[in-house]
Amino acid sequence: MIAVIVAAAGQGRRLGSGGPKALRLLAGLPLYEYTLDTLQRVPHVGGVWLVVPDAAREEVATALRRRGKFALPIHVVPGGEERQDSVNNAVASLPQEVSLVVVHDAARPFASAKLFESCIAAAQLRGAAIAAIPARDTVKLVEGGVVTGTVDRNRTWLAQTPQAARADWLRHALREAALAKRQFTDEAGALEQCGYQVYVVQGEEWNRKLTTPEDWDWAEWYVAHKRATSA
């Protein structure tokens, strides 16, 4: 069974006031619904575990029941203090028959079904895979405002989600991270630390993470553009 964890518990403080990021309305829909809509078109997914702020759990679960628009089973899970804690909560609630886990940030609402399929296929073949795009800009290492080195751009990729891995690998990596009290900004980091090889599939330019007010403005334009193009 393939399970998808949608991380939607972040507060989105850099976005300004307005409550948790993934619960805000983007063009009339809660941000997390864009990912849930896409996942309905991804083959072989057995269920979705939507991680939201604990205080909003009942509200979100009630809203999803009322809308009744999703065919896939959606389980609403309380989030933790950090993203890694939220993913841990979701992984702990997965049934044992789950063999592959996909983690995706609700803050990346425009990942395509094709991108999910590519990550899943690569992880099934290799054990773990993430979406990423090659860096275009020159990347500098900086300490105290001073450049200390230049990273080879040809070897630098910008990680996105979805990120997919064998369930036993992910459970092991998260357990080791918790024991060592290490925090990672993505699941690939935890897997790498345990020695697992993580493969890369080509990401998407529009799979942009919404972090700042400028990102949100772009997302509103993008939704309007897509709707106008479809019409």
pLDDT at residue 164, rounded to an integer: 98
Q: Residue 99: is its pLDDT beyond 70?
A: yes
Predicted confidence (pLDDT) per residue in 41-69, tens digit: 999 999 999 999 999 999 999 999 988 88
* 157-215 pLDDT per residue, tens: 999 999 999 999 999 999 999 999 898 989 999 999 999 999 999 999 999 999 999 99
For residue 150, how many other CB atoms are within 10 A of its CB?
10
Beta strands in 56-99 (DSSP E): 74-78
What's the whole-number mean pLDDT along residues 130-143? Answer: 94
Angle between helices 167-180 and 83-92 (to 10 degrees): 130
Residue-wise pLDDT for 63-78, tens only, equals 999 888 899 999 999 9
CA distance 63 to 43: 25
Burial of 186-199, coded b for 16+ CB within 10 Å and e otherwise, reads bbbbbbeeeebebb
Predicted pLDDT at 171: 97
The closest alpha carbon to 212, from 10, 6, 7, 13, belongs to 13
Mean pLDDT rounded to a whole number for the chain: 93
- Cβ neighbours of 13 (radius 10 Å): 10
Q: What is the pTM of this model?
A: 0.94
pLDDT at 21: 82
User: What mean pLDDT do residues 125-141 have?
Assistant: 95
Cα(182)–Cα(147) distance, rounded to whole angstroms?
27
Q: Give all domains of the chain, ordered by start, each with its CATH number.
A: 2-230 (3.90.550.10)
For 163, the enclosing helix (H) or strand (E) is strand 157-166
pLDDT value, residue 64: 92
- Residues 153, 137: Cα–Cα separation, whole Å: 7
